Amino acid sequence: MNVHMGVLLPTNQGQWDDARQLIDMGVRAERLGYDSVWANDTLLGPRLEPLATLAALATATDRVTLGTATLLPAFRRPVTTAQELASIDHLSAGRLTIAVGAGFPGRSEPEYAMSEVPWQRRFARLDDTVALWRALWAGERSFSGQVLCFDELPASTPCLQEGGPPIWLGGASPSALHRTGTLYDGWLPYPPDPADYRTGLTTVRRSAASAGRAADAVTPALFITVLITDDMADGERQLDAYCRETYGRPYETVRTIQGIVAGPTEHVAATLTRYVEAGAEHLVCRLATQSMKSQIEQLELLATLNLPTTDRPILDRPATDQPATDRPTTDRPASDRPAMDRPASDRPAVNRPTLDQ
């Protein structure tokens, strides 16, 4: 099985000095051989908005999948969001994947309140929103769901990908597992135990089969937080600091809720392998550090991992092994093209802090 490896960008403002460093990090991830680059979503604290971040990455990268992990659609007007997502799909030459969620109890209620959206029926609202996006992309001019209803819809921009980008669901409740199997294109949970992942994936596939969908209709992915360090004890201390900074909760609590691992490369690789053996095919890794310099160090360390289910580490994969996009090319010399059309190495230098500073 070919395992795909992705990385979450550190969009929290406390993790970068210059927001353009995030775009540089996405470009570096692509050059290192990663398969995907992701941005997350929350209103709790200053950070870069994920769709704006992916739009910036769309023309700076050429190959990697660009995704949200996860987007919280309730915070946005659904018709406008469909247009934004279609725009990013075009700008990226059809490389967009959208993982969505409905928030986390005990944490997300204030975000719903400030978005003037009721917390109740949030799952029905999420499913309606996704169905509405697909209706708009298909050219439909009205929509009637459980929560959202529109007697008249404007003509909307269709996506470059036929039928729209793949839409994954983040969540592992019994309801989420069933809805993933029947309504979504992928599954992005973060269970703390690979055995729970295996059980959940079995339920997703059973629901998909009951709905008459193909066995491979749902992409099995995993969101996991990682930290590579030679000292296990020091790694757990760093994870505790990261969890307290990110969630206001200690590592001992967070580790019972979501997948999180620290240690030498062999230990991290073994943990990821257990999830792969449980069925995960796309790993979305969040790097558990708070500075851009340490994020890049972890990005490069993670690229050296050699999972038993892959033929070689990410870092050793030649560019020719990666699928190319159908992005249009031009016959103009690189030096004569606008900056955004040139290879990244030929673009004019920008006077800003580098990733290594």
Res 194: pLDDT:
98
Q: What is the dihedral of CA 206, 212, 215, 220, to 10 degrees?
A: -60
Count helices and strands in the chain by DSSP H and E runs:
11, 11
Q: For residue 15, what are its two tokens?
A: 């993790």
Res 345: pLDDT:
36
Distance (Å, rounded) from C-alpha 329 to C-alpha 201? 40
Neighbours of 210 (CB within 10 A): 11
Res 226: pLDDT:
98
Distance (Å, rounded) from C-alpha 284 to C-alpha 74? 23
Q: What are phi and psi of 321, to 5 degrees?
A: -80, -10
Res 355: pLDDT:
37
State the greatest distance between any 2 C-alpha atoms of the chain, in Å, as a whole number: 60
Beta strands in the chain (DSSP E): 4-8, 36-39, 65-71, 96-100, 143-144, 149-150, 167-169, 186-187, 219-228, 260-263, 282-287
Distance (Å, rounded) from C-alpha 98 to C-alpha 129? 13
Distance (Å, rounded) from C-alpha 85 to C-alpha 133? 9
Res 2: pLDDT:
85
pLDDT in tens, 306-323: 887 665 677 666 553 444
Distance (Å, rounded) from C-alpha 75 to C-alpha 43? 9
| Helix axes of 265-277 and 194-210: crossing angle, nearest 10 degrees | 30
In degrees, rounded to 5, the angle at the alpha carbon of residue 138 between the alpha carbons of residues 137 and 139 is: 90
Res 309: pLDDT:
67
Closest CA to 34 of 316, 325, 354, 274: 316
Which residues are 219's β-sheet partners?
A: 186
Q: For residue 324, what are its two tokens?
A: 């190319």
At 45, which amino acid appears? G
Residue 77 neighbours by CB under 8 Å, 6+ apart: none
Which residues are 225's β-sheet partners?
A: 260, 286
Closest CA to 148 of 136, 160, 163, 156: 136
Q: For residue 183, what are its two tokens?
A: 């309504």
| Helix axes of 20-32 and 292-302: crossing angle, nearest 10 degrees | 10
Please, are residues 6 and 283 in contact by the beta-carbon 8 Å criterion?
A: yes
Please, are residues 225 and 260 in contact by the beta-carbon 8 Å criterion?
A: yes
Closest CA to 169 of 155, 183, 157, 154: 183
Q: Using CB atoms within 10 A of its CB, is residue 182 exposed (0-12), middle (13-18) or buried (19+)?
A: middle
Spans in the chain with pLDDT lower than 50: 320-357
Global pTM reads 0.88
Res 346: pLDDT:
38
Please, are residues 142 and 150 in contact by the beta-carbon 8 Å criterion?
A: yes
Res 330: pLDDT:
30
Please, are residues 78 and 129 in contact by the beta-carbon 8 Å criterion?
A: yes
Distance (Å, rounded) from C-alpha 310 to C-alpha 111? 40
Res 332: pLDDT:
30
